Structure 1
């Protein structure tokens, strides 16, 4: 009887720390301006409900940003938001910054080259001319984005791939670009096209991680991993310049490219994908942890190494990158984020339908890490996760393998956003301080 009581107490603790479902959708719908617009989008094929899959999320104020990449034709808007305080369990998406900015350009819409100049001024740096990418109506246009990040300076950073209908008839409408918006005014601050020489044959930019300081907003850096060609693009906002870094640690592990998720078996060769930025140390540096998606290993490098263009594009930087450990069998992960409050890194566990944690004060080993939640229904392919300023971990799961290789059942819940307080969900795990 005593054993049963102990087991019941254990399961009660386990259930108490699980992530809670905050939003859920069978299919993604939009908050249309009016019924005529909706009918037009449906009739012209601009909106095919089955083709709109949410992938990335971010939280700023009472907004939750949700990205919908243009995997297939019929995505109404790629960059969107919902009201975080909405009582609706399945709120409709609102395009950001506008419907117009998320419309795909029609051939002939783009202005002539001499007209493709728009001034974008940030409050921390002088106004500079910004060239509009080929095929765009204007700089605010978002073709297709996977991940976004809000920074310490109330700016939203968007990695726009410029590529539409990825799984159908791929159309590179515009060059891959970093797009920055002022979240207080919803106005464009900058659009920066990734230089051609930093784009390789199999390049695919699906993530962006930003390092910024509220006391020095101009001195910000964006890190953009290239999962297809195994590189990293580092962008300096102050210099309005980027450089490409290459390293063996950015490649996928050929022994960890096999996935079994939601009843789907497939093989991926995705390289560098996830990054997390740590606290500032006494010497002013920060650790940047990273890993390829098709891998179980974790690595680290100093931000000052990546920010030194001359050094990191030279010959003698290899040993500045360090292997810190391994997540173990089936430990492949699509995203990670550092939580200042608990000094933990939270990361997705794709093959385990789970969310993992690692206390950065401990060694990186399978037995020193933990799972804060695992659910073979609600967490099928946890794709992205973020920690907000209030210490909440937000997780988006979207059954992506079924979407790509099979079909999704519209009578079932396919997309979820889960939430948990970081200090609570690590209780009872090796990640607890």
Structure 2
């Protein structure tokens, strides 16, 4: 296994460096030019018109340079219309609102577009005093029923003002349609900071799929997975040794980070295996080289995790968690497309890898699909969304890593950027393309000139 890991790392270095033997025509992998949707050298949140700045946000505490967006989602409408969502959790004082959307007036603005609160500023203005509002949104997920799912930490500057909650908004009306407060027994106040959210809906039952959902949330510093069944109004917590950090890896910055990602096998509508055949939940700890999976039917069975179990049953459950393989390198954000390709951004390597489900997880099947040191930096949000042509597109929120370790950057440096590429383009090593109108027009212009 160690030899295999080392081989993969050597292969990655060769691919992304562009080193070629004498006589080779071109590098094995070229630099991937992603499509840039938006980028910020200066990210500011202003008080919406008609509101006054809260007295708690005085000049000393309201530091705009402390704003750290961590998640992104792109909602597609008809004819290329789109909305772009960002979460900016209240990891420090002074964050006016933690769930934002790019203003319609700035939808085609590349540099420093205006952000406005979603769904309105009233949802954010209590700063933890009203737990029915949003205290600190950190993760989002858009499902196929036009719902925006949101995980609210309930924390401000590490203090647990409210219990974490799961919210769902109707993207047609922008109204709240579902709320669930996570029980106190399933999180640790001030410690549980959720780094991944995935939502699965059962589209095999016509007209009923949007009445339910299964929600999966990663708790990296609590070393557990929270599962929520919308139809039953019940959640449970799952813990496993693979959700903890690898103690043999001792990096100071990530050494205590456990389960960091959650991805789910796509539904395969085939006659042989059935709709739910062999579906699995994938995850990895940030401080680990291993990718791990567990059958989705096991994860979704509440009785296995909420009822007392004897030793034999506990041992059987442990066997359900399977090591898929080792990368020999750390991965941060992760997402899976509708064909079962799992993407992961490599820490400090400016590269994106892909692996096809049900193949061996080794150097022969882990494919480096993108490299770009200017675009792929510290990826805190990675999503695969279906565009209005029913095609998969991958979008990433990439940030200057210095911002997350207290470092300083130049005033005019790009601090955050949202970049995208068609999944087909990634897998076939083609130039990146997306369907959003103003971006596609720009791409076509440069192709013609």
Same fold (TM over 0.5): yes
| Correspondence 1:144 to 2:133 | no
After TM superposition, the score normalised by the length of structure 2 is 0.78
**Residue matched to 1:340:** 338
Cα offset for 1:4? 8.2
* Secondary structure at 2:210 match in 1: coil
Task: Name the counterpart of 2:107.
Answer: 86
Deviation of the 1:192 alpha carbon: 1.4
Matched with 2:380 is: 383
CA 1:299–1:208 in 2, change beyond 3 Å: closer, same or farther?
same
> What do the CA deviations read for 1:195-218 (whole angstroms, capped 9, x no partner)?
111123643323221111344223
Q: Alpha-carbon deviations, 1:119-163, whole Å to 9, x = none?
A: xxxxxxxxxxxxxxxx54362x21112211011211111111100
The 1:339–1:174 alpha-carbon spacing in structure 2 relative to 1, beyond 3 Å, is same
Q: Return the match for 2:263 from 250, 257, 276.
A: 276
Shift of 1:57: 0.6
- Count of paired positions: 381
Moved more, 406-415 or 291-300: 406-415
Task: Please tell me whether residue 302 in structure 1 is matched to residue 295 in structure 2.
Answer: yes
- How big is the shift at 1:29? 2.0
CA contact (8 A) 2:99 2:137 kept: yes
Structure 1 runs not aligned, ≥5 long = 106-134, 260-265
Unpaired segments ≥5 residues, structure 2: 1-20, 77-81, 431-449
Q: Are 1:67 and 2:54 matched, yes or no?
A: no
1:280 is paired with a residue of what secondary structure? Answer: coil
Deviations, residues 338-388 of structure 1 (Å, cap 9, x unaligned): 1115x3111111121222211224211134212222233332211111111
Root-mean-square deviation over aligned CA pairs: 2.7
**d(CA) in 1 for partners of 2:265 and 2:295?**
10
Offset of residue 326 of structure 1: 0.8
Deviations 1:92-119 (A, max 9, x none): 11111101112243xxxxxxxxxxxxxx
> CA separation in 2, counterparts of 1:426 and 1:41?
49
- 2:64 corresponds, among 44, 49, 72, to 49
8 Å Cα contact 1:326/1:366 also seen in 2: no
Q: TM-score, normalization: structure 1?
A: 0.80
Partner of 1:109: none
Q: Please identify which structure carries the higher strand content.
A: 1
| CA distance, structure 1, for counterparts of residue 254 and residue 196 of structure 2 | 20
Task: Give the 3-state SS of the residue equivalent to 1:368 in structure 2.
Answer: coil
Higher RCO (CA < 8 A, seq sep 6+): 2
Query: In structure 2, what is the equivalent of residue 114 of structure 1?
Result: none
Tell me if the contact between 1:46 and 1:75 (Cα under 8 Å) persists in the aligned partners. no
